[in-house]
A and B are shown apart, each in its own frame.
Chain A
Amino acid sequence: MSATTADARRGSAARAERLGRALRLWVTAGPGLTWIVLFLVLPSAILLGIGFFTSGSYGGPELPLTLQPLREVAGYSILGWSSGNITVLVRSLIQAMSAGVLTVLFAYPVVFYIVTRPPAARPLLLLFIVLPSWTNQVVRTYAWMELLGPESALSHLVQSLGLLQPHLGLFPGVLAMQIGLTYNYLPYMVVPLYAAAEKLDWALVEAGRDLYASGPRLFWNTVFPQTLPGLLSGIILVVIPAFGDYVVPTLLGGGKSMMIGSLIASQFLETPNWPYGAALTIFMLVFTCAGLLAFRVLSKRLGGAEESMM
């Protein structure tokens, strides 16, 4: 009799504990999870779904379900196959990767200038790099339109060098787009690289000098391996957003140099074709994931990349 009561008591205690644990889980993880599900997972799922509908007369999704939007992504439309999408994809890739390379080239000297200053001065110097990214990207990009327009000093300089016809500006065009992307994403390269460079073991650099290395070989053998994790993080933080960037190609690129981000946006805004836009999004998502995966394999082979992966 008493044994059964004890068992029951034990059972209810265990139930209460399970309940408590579930409650704690929901209180802590619940709000964030709800947010993500409502505003990320659900919309993404809807968008992905739309990619399998037929485009209606106003561009909205209509039944029946079809693979036509995906075929369009591959270049097949009612007018036959066109290389347009491949051109946009390749251009986006080149622009994004160039932005990656250019930000690396700019970031290394900047970062090494900062980490060789006295520790008290470093946060301020880093702030100068990060500060512009706190203002609106659209505003900054508009500023570049002015700076690179036909009447700007920079354009005049390029005109006088004979690289540009008179009365034409650097803006709009591929070069303006490249400048805009590099400028916009530079802080995303500087910050992780700075984090890696600040922890740099200078004794290794001295060891390299002691063992007859100097100049580029010293950098390559002692500094580069130590900053590699930061570099890889920076590349991911720059190349992926730059690949899908919408503001810069739209404002600085002009009509002739579309990137995949602006191509997708135009399917929803200018010449509506939601299913096609959704299909492009699916493609971009898969492509980016595949790229990340390939990058991960590559950086693992380079070694020391664990920290760089998100």
Chain B
Amino acid sequence: MDYCAGTPWRRANVINGGLRLMAGPVVSAAMKPHDAASEPAVADRRGQIVLEDISRVFAADVVAVDRINLVIHPGEFFTLLGPSGCGKTTLLRMIAGFETPDSGRILVSGREMQAVPAHRRPVNTVFQSYALFPHLTVAENIAFGLRMRGVAKAERRERTRRIMELLQIDAFANRNPAQLSGGQRQRVALARALVNEPEVVLLDEPLSALDAKLRAELQVELMRMQKRLGMTFIFVTHDQHEALVMSDRIGVMQRGRLLQVGPVLDVYERPSSVFVAEFLGLSNIWPVTALPGGLIDTPLGPLAIGNPDPASGTAMIRPEKIWMYSESGAPTGRPNMVAGVVREAIYMGASTQYRVELENGAPLLVYDTNNQAAERSWRPGEAVTCELKPENIVLIGS
């Protein structure tokens, strides 16, 4: 089966079919989940992570993590997304116990982690470099955690065998990590964490060293594995596509701060800031001023939006949410129709990315699905009309 082709299909299915777990409420910086911390561990908190006002300062004024408040629900696939150096890995390492927060509290399954060293925490990490023990075989690597916890040999062997079968690495059981390919190593690293049946699995950019096709394959596999085992996964990545494919919810980070937390769909469709909008996919973003009558003034001219009482600030529309018509084929009597000329067309297989120059000179980025015969697509120089449906224009705020 071609996983590459399978990915978008699956994603669509998951969203439309409602298979995705109900995502919890967005936790704003002001909302502090104090009640969760004061009670002892209970069964329904197993796998829950609560971060309360977590900060980490490296040098005198290098704030790696800045007052983060976050609740990650049991059994959730949560992704921390952000550019390199935004503090997402530091946050993950604090949950793992490799770093100590300078302030704030971390609760795993309702238990305070302050005084719990890394080797006693109910979490396991999949490292970016995999960090497989080179002197041990695959099976010995996977059984390491069980051995350290004193699990009896027979049980150790059985659990190792089961997880190797699940991840289809049983054929390499007696090989050394050096003899494996990148994808195989990644599976071993995952198996080494999962075999311990941790309450939370922490994944630090585990797919970044793999080539695109294998990545896509493992993204889907990881997501299925997580749903099947029901463990909480916290996944760190700088790859927005990866975050969209796998996550139940995303937390977007920048310069140590958590900018927005929410279900994948919310964060993509209704970004709370320009940074989030630009980090997740492409967008047309303009500074806008409110006009009377539910209109906003944009560089494209006045546009109607779904909100009857718009505010001045910034507005955004995703390029795939813009309809394009040939000059003659445009429907009449609809709002927000703008005319322009195609200046650039980048053919990308499933879709084409157009740069349209409007009559007043403003640029507009448009994606069009190539669901028609190739001859029907537009070429540079052609005159087109673009429709920006009011409900697709999102006000980001000031």
A residues in contact (CB < 8 Å) with B? 201, 203-204, 206-214, 217-218, 221-222, 225, 303-304
Contacts and interface: CB of A to CB of B under 8 A. Distances in A.
B133 A210 contact: no
Interface in B189-214: 192-193, 196
B127 A206 contact: yes
B131 A221 contact: no
Given A203-B127, A203-B129, A217-B148, A210 B118 contact: yes
B119 interface: yes
B131 A206 contact: yes
A209 B149 contact: no
Given A204-B134, A207-B131, A213-B148, 4 more contacts: A203-B127, A206-B98, A211-B119, A221-B144
Contact of B98 (A201, A209, A218, A304): A209
A204 B133 contact: yes
B30 to A, nearest CB: 33
Nearest to A217: B148
B149 A210 contact: no
B380 interface: no
Across the A-B interface, give the 8 residue pairs with the lowest CB-CB distance, nearest first. A211-B145, A207-B131, A212-B148, A203-B131, A209-B118, A225-B135, A214-B119, A210-B125
B60 to A, nearest CB: 16
B119 A212 contact: yes
A212 B119 CA distance: 4
Contacts of A225: 133-135
Contacts of A209: 97-98, 117-119
Interface residues of B, number: 24
Contacts of B133: 204, 207-208, 221-222, 225
Interface in B118-165: 118-120, 123-125, 127, 129, 131-135, 144-145, 148-149
Contacts of B135: 225, 303-304
Nearest to B202: A210
Contacts of A204: 131, 133-134
A201 to B, nearest CB: 7
A207 B127 contact: yes
Tell me whether chain A's interface is mostly helix, strand or loop, or mixed: helix
Nearest to B198: A210
A210 B129 contact: no
A207 B141 CA distance: 10
B358 interface: no
A304 B123 CA distance: 31
A201 B129 CA distance: 10
B234 interface: no
A134 to B, nearest CB: 36
A211 B98 contact: no
A211 B129 contact: no
A222 B135 CA distance: 9
Contacts of A211: 119, 124, 144-145, 148, 192, 196
A81 to B, nearest CB: 48
Contacts of B341: none
B296 interface: no
Nearest to A228: B135
A203 B128 CA distance: 9
Interface string B49-93: 000000000000000000000000000000000000000000000
B54 to A, nearest CB: 19
A206 B148 contact: no
A274 B70 CA distance: 83
A214 B119 CA distance: 7
Contacts of A212: 119-120, 145, 148-149, 196
Nearest to A211: B145
B302 to A, nearest CB: 56
A86 B129 CA distance: 53
A211 to B, nearest CB: 4
A308 to B, nearest CB: 14
Contacts of B117: 209, 214
Contacts of B97: 209
B117 to A, nearest CB: 7
B375 to A, nearest CB: 54
Interface in B99-132: 117-120, 123-125, 127, 129, 131-132
B149 to A, nearest CB: 5
Contacts of A206: 96, 98, 118, 125, 127, 131
